[in-house]
């Protein structure tokens, strides 16, 4: 049976000059998040030709586990810093995988 994961696509746009700092903060989330219960995939990307535009692609087995992730210390740290690092609000969308 094909699992119907909950997918999150989260985009962050660095404030000019803070690309490296935002990249470092986002990379620091990868390993602790992959160790969380219910995390199936958590990959970080940077757009070609647009340094500082980052995108997480995330698959979770349930909404409860995603909600627990949002309360994790590493995510709380990021959100305490994020306003200083980004040039516009993050674009965070939730999807159902359909195929």
Q: Where do contacts with its own copies occur on this chain (CB under 8 A)?
A: 7, 9, 23, 26-27, 30, 43-48, 55, 57, 93-99
Least spacing, CB of residue 41 vs its own copies, in Å? 9
Least spacing, CB of residue 30 vs its own copies, in Å? 4
Least spacing, CB of residue 58 vs its own copies, in Å? 10
Evaluate the CA torsion angle 39, 63, 98, 57 in order and state its sign. Answer: negative
Q: Which is nearer to its own copies, 81 or 92 (CB)?
A: 92
Q: Which is nearer to its own copies, 37 or 97 (CB)?
A: 97
User: Scanning the structure block, which residue is given the tokens 């965070």?
Assistant: 92
SS3 3: coil
Q: Which is nearer to its own copies, 70 or 94 (CB)?
A: 94
Quote the tokens at residue 4. 């119907």
Quote the tokens at residue 43. 């990959």
Q: Rounded to whole angstroms, how far apart are CA atoms 97 and 61?
A: 11
């Amino acid at each position: 049976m094909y699992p119907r994961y909950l997918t999150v696509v989260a985009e962050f746009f660095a404030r000019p000059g803070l690309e490296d700092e935002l990249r470092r903060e986002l990379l620091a989330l990868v390993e602790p998040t992959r160790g969380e219960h219910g995390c199936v995939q958590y990959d970080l990307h940077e757009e070609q030709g647009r340094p500082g535009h980052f995108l997480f692609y995330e698959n979770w087995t349930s909404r409860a586990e995603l909600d627990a992730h949002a309360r994790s210390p590493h995510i709380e740290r990021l959100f305490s810093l994020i306003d200083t690092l980004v040039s516009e609000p993050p674009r965070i969308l939730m999807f159902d995988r359909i195929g």
